[in-house]
A and B are shown apart, each in its own frame.
Chain A
Amino acid sequence: MSVASFAAGACFAASAFFFVAGTVGLLRFPDVYTRLHALTKADNLGIGFLVLALAIRSSDPVTIAKLVLIWLAVLVSSATASNLIAAAAYQDGAPWWRNEQ
């Protein structure tokens, strides 16, 4: 197994880990804000590692450039959308979770 395919496999695994962690966070975290935090952080890293893995496997610079563009577009839109959702939730007075201990 070549170094490149090992690196790509490791990036795929890391991507899957962050997607699963983000989904678990979305389902299990106690309020809107922490859920958004889990979702955006994990999705951005998940997409990032996925793009990295695909870029390692691809040999075409144009394809790699397209992949990076996709990653940047997801990054920007996900950050903006979650900021909007959080602001709307705050304006609506969505309760936030406090650690009671």
Chain B
Amino acid sequence: MNVAVLDVMLCAGLVWCAVSALVKRDLFASIVMFISFGLLSALAWIRLAAPDIALAEAAIGAGATGALLLDAAGVLARGDGSAAEDAERRTPRSANVLGTIAAGALFAALAWALLSTPLDAPRLAAAALTGAREVGIANPVTAVLLDFRGYDTLLEVAVLLLAVMGVMALRSGAPVSVASHAADPLVRLLVGSLAPAVLLAAAYLVWAGTSSPGGAFQSGALLGAGVIVLGLEGMLQPMRVHPGASRLLLAAGLLAFVAAALEPVAAGRALLQYAPYARKGVILAVEGILALSIATTVAGLFLASSVTPDRGKAGRP
């Protein structure tokens, strides 16, 4: 009963945050509502007993996406004071109408899919749990992601790499400096002392991913967020100081995954059919390298696309 009250409040809060994020005129207020929406959805995932998704949603949906949006709003506002309003005025009415129709169609399709699924439809949970036991990985989410649906994850990792390559290609040649304010000693102290804790937590998440909630995506998102904060303080600029090593790290996850996927083929088995005795080791190794790649991707998306005020003005005709 008490929990039901909490759930109703959570659902109402989610809807309220979503509506406010859409209707608020002030871009900054919209973004703050969007971040609140991300945090509430993380709570909702916890209530749905999906802590893996909750971790990813809190780190990527609320954290990294929020930072990207705030950065973009900052660049728009710094332009000439009315850039955000200009952007809004330039949006043609037809684009808004088309967007509304597309969103409505997507909503209708999702609602139809949900309502047309019989309640007693065969579920995949039992199959996933049996499979996880066979693999020897106690966390069924990790077993699904890296073993018996590994192909999906492999393609997702490739998409992530393509996305960050796109962002880096859009960035014009000059190196980007991010530290836009005099470093605050209090923040430097906090960030500096939290960095080792973030590193430890990220390593723990990879290790824990085999038996409990966690894994490469959660770990990478956490580590990436840590690098973003360090980058904002100007304490760590991986893309600028070590461009070659950063690019290698970006690609390392996909390379390791492809190698792990092809090795069984060379040994005469099917793609991604790891040797039974090496399964756990291979999965842990791929997860570890993937976590580093995802961290570099998350940090790279932010630190590569972040624009200083001066460059923002220089790029304006």
Contacts and interface: CB of A to CB of B under 8 A. Distances in A.
B124 interface: no
B103 interface: no
Range, interface on chain A: under 10
B186 interface: yes
A83 interface: yes
Contacts of A76: 190
B310 interface: no
A80 interface: yes
A76 B194 CA distance: 10
B184 A87 contact: yes
Identify the 6 closest CB pairs spanning chains A and B, nearest first: A80-B190, A83-B186, A80-B186, A80-B187, A76-B190, A84-B187
Contacts of A87: 184
A42 B190 CA distance: 22
Interface of B: 184, 186-187, 190
Interface of A is mostly: helix
Contacts of A77: 190
A87 B190 CA distance: 16
Interface in A53-101: 76-77, 80, 83-84, 87
Nearest to A83: B186
Nearest to A87: B184
A29 B187 CA distance: 27
Contacts of B187: 80, 84
B175 to A, nearest CB: 26
A83 B184 CA distance: 10
Contacts of B186: 80, 83-84
A80 B190 CA distance: 8
Interface in A21-51: none
Given A76-B190, A84-B186, A87-B184, 8 more contacts: A77-B190, A80-B186, A80-B187, A80-B190, A83-B184, A83-B186, A84-B184, A84-B187
A83 B190 CA distance: 12
B39 to A, nearest CB: 14
5 contacts: A80-B190, A83-B186, A84-B186, A84-B187, A87-B184
A94 to B, nearest CB: 14
A84 to B, nearest CB: 7
B161 to A, nearest CB: 32
A84 B186 CA distance: 9
Nearest to B197: A73
A32 to B, nearest CB: 14
A66 B78 CA distance: 42
Contacts of A84: 184, 186-187
A80 B184 CA distance: 10
Taking each of A76, A77, A80, A87, which has the highest tally of chain B beta carbons within 10 Å of its own beta carbon? A80
A87 B186 CA distance: 11
